[in-house]
Amino acid sequence: MTPVLDIRGLSKGFTMHHLGQGFAAFSDISFAVNAGEFVLLKGANGAGKSTLLRTLYRSYLPQAGQVLFQSAHGPIDLARAADIDITYLRQTEIGFVTQFLVARPRVSAEALVAEPLRLAGMAEPEALDTARHWLQTFGVKDTLWPAYPTTFSGGEQQKVNLARALIRPHKLLLLDEPTASLDANARAALVRRLADLKAQGTAMIGVFHHPGDVEHLIDRVIDLTPNAPLQEERQDVAV
């Protein structure tokens, strides 16, 4: 089976210009992720978990290595792809869920959530109906659907964020602490959605504040702690 994502010798560091020195976030990371596989990243604070996800999403450029993604148009190295190709893949095949919503001013919650479907060609009434379904699923009150998320609490913003990010399936989904600001009901709704996406073949790599929530979905654990064995198979976990 050709993996959806094949990471080879990936390294990333940063330069602290005001100190005149650099430091490594992670070094020589290699692993692959297949369709329908859920990989959990673990490690202490500062081990590079979020940095790895952002490097895979190409928010950061790696210093070395390859990130080979099997797109619908053929294999592509995300570490070296043109920005226009990265933008297209983000719109069509690669999703990224963070704990922070970047909401545009004067755009309603329902319009923000419906936007990925409209960009994919769905008619606006159908896209809005689907958006309202997912807002309701994640526990956003219907009185807030036409309101601006910039005025919402952190927890409510995160529910909007999840509804937008998960409204359509992706080939690859990156999850950076998506449950950090959620109540128990919203966390349960998220886990159900992730289970559905996994069953549909979405490859997932995630960092979780409450890893027990997704324990039954995890296939492998990647430990970014320095000097720790990199991979742990989860054969004891039902998938």
- What tens digit of pLDDT does each residue of 9-29 get? 999 988 776 677 777 889 999
Question: According to the model, what pLDDT value does residue 144 have?
Answer: 96
**Number of domains within the chain:** 1
Residue 178 lies inside a defined structural domain of this protein:
yes
pLDDT at 173 > cutoff 80: yes
Please report whether residue 236 resides in a domain. no
**Is residue 234 domain-resident?**
no
In a domain, 64, yes or no: yes
The confidence score (pLDDT) of residue 238 equals 34
Check residues 226 and 192 and name the one with the higher pLDDT: 192
- pLDDT of residue 129 exceeding 80: yes
Q: Smallest Cα–Cα separation from 1: which of 168, 193, 174, 203? A: 203
Q: Which domain range does residue 46 map to? A: 5-15+24-223
What is the per-residue pLDDT across 51-110, written as a single tens digit (0 to 9) for each? 999 999 999 999 999 999 999 999 999 999 999 999 999 999 999 998 777 777 889 999
Confidence at residue 92, expressed as pLDDT on a 0 to 100 scale:
93
Averaged pLDDT of the chain: 90
Q: Which of 3-12, 36-45, 176-185 has the lowest mean pLDDT?
A: 176-185
Per the domain annotation, does 237 fall within a domain?
no
Q: Is residue 229 part of a domain?
A: no
List the one residue out of 119, 207, 215, 201 whose CA is nearest residue 167.
Answer: 119
pLDDT value for 98 = 85
The pTM score is 0.90
Q: Are strands 74-77 and 64-71 parallel, antiparallel or unpaired?
A: antiparallel
Question: Does residue 216 belong to any structural domain of this protein?
Answer: yes
- In tens, the pLDDT along 207-239 reads 998 889 899 999 999 999 876 667 766 644 433
Q: Are 225 and 44 within 8 A, CB to CB?
A: yes
Q: What is the CATH number of the domain that holds 72?
A: 3.40.50.300
What is the rounded distance in angstroms from the CA atom of residue 89 to the CA atom of residue 125?
25
Q: Does 235 map to a domain?
A: no
Range scoring the smallest mean pLDDT among 4-8, 125-129, 138-142, 148-152: 148-152
